[in-house]
Amino acid sequence: MARLRYKDRWVRYSEALMEGLSVRRAAACCGVHKNTSFRWRHRFPRLPAQTRARGLKGITEADETSCPYSCKGQRHLQRPPRQRGHALHARGTGKDQVPVLVVRDRSGATADHQLSAASAAEMQPLLGAILAPDALLCTDGARLYRAVTRKLRITPRPLNLSAGIRVIAGAYPLQNVNAYHSRLKDWMRRFHGVATNYLENTLGWRRWLKRWGPSNTPRVGLYAALGCENRIQRLTQTWL
C-alpha cells in the first residue's frame, strides 16, 4: 500500500471491492480517477491473494478449471487480435486457456492456484504444502492425480466422471469443488474478462470475500489488504 494516497477513501473503496464493482464504477463511488481505481484494484487484493488455506484435512476435493487466456489491457500482443464477440469453445487446457487448481475440504477452507500447465510436476508441491497428511483426496480419474497422491502418500478417491460416476458410496463427491468453479466464474462474468496477468489477484479477491463471509466489512477488507490479522480478529471476534 506504499505511496497510495487518499487514505480517507480506502474504506469506501474496500466496500466497492465487496460489492464487486467495476473499475470505473468504483472510481465514481470514491471520487477518484479511473487510473487510481485501477491501481487500487490490483494493490488491495495483493496480500489476500497470497493467503491460502493450509492444513486441509478430512475429505478434500481437488479439481482444475480453465479460464480464457486474456491479454486485456495490453497494447503489444504476441498473437493476432481476436474479433469482437469471439468466444473460446475449445475444452481443456490448450494454449488459449489457463488452468486453475481449486482445493476445498468439507469445512469450506479453500486454496486455488493459477497453473502454467496441468501437470503432476506442478501440482505436487502445491498440494503437498496445503494438504494434511491424513487428508483423503477426491479427484477425477486423471492419471496425474494418481501420481501426485502416490508421491505425497495421501489416500486417493478417484471418480470416473466419463462413466457418469460422480459420487462413491455417497460420501466422496466432487460437487463441492465443482460448485465453487461455477460460482467463481459467475462472479467473474461481471468484469467481461479478466486479464491473465491479474488472474491471481482476482482469485485472491474472491477467496477473501468467501473467507470472512457474514463477518466481512469494509474495515475488515482494508485490514486484510494491510496484513493486520490481529485487528481483523478483534473486529470479527474469531480466531481463524
Which pLDDT score is estimated for 2? 83
Q: Between 213 and 235, whose confidence is greater?
A: 213
H helix count then E strand count, the chain: 10, 7
Instruction: Tell me if 219 is assigned to some domain.
Output: yes
Nearest 10 degrees: Cα torsion 136, 137, 141, 147: -100
Q: Which helix (H) or strand (E) holds 173?
A: strand 172-173
Say if residue 183 is in the same domain as residue 228: no
Placement of cell 494493490 in the chain: 43
Which pLDDT score is estimated for 185? 92
Nearest to 178 by CA among 166, 170, 190: 166
Which pLDDT score is estimated for 240? 39
- Residue type at 199? L
What is the 3-class SS of 114-170, one letter each residue? Answer: ECCCCCHHHHHHHHHHHECCCCEEEEECCHHHHHHHHHHCCEEEEECHHHCCCEECC
Instruction: Tell me if 173 is assigned to some domain.
Output: yes
Q: How many domains does the chain have?
A: 2
Q: State pLDDT tens for residues 23-82.
A: 999 999 999 999 999 999 989 988 888 888 888 888 888 888 998 888 887 888 777 777
How far is it, in rounded angstroms, from Cα 187 to Cα 181? 10
Say if residue 212 is in the same domain as residue 127: no
Say if residue 42 is in the same domain as residue 63: no
Say if residue 111 is in the same domain as residue 188: yes
Instruction: Tell me if 80 is assigned to some domain.
Output: no
CATH classification of the domain holding 119: 3.30.420.10
* Domain extent at residue 181: 59-71+91-197
Q: Is a pLDDT exceeding 90 seen at residue 16?
A: yes
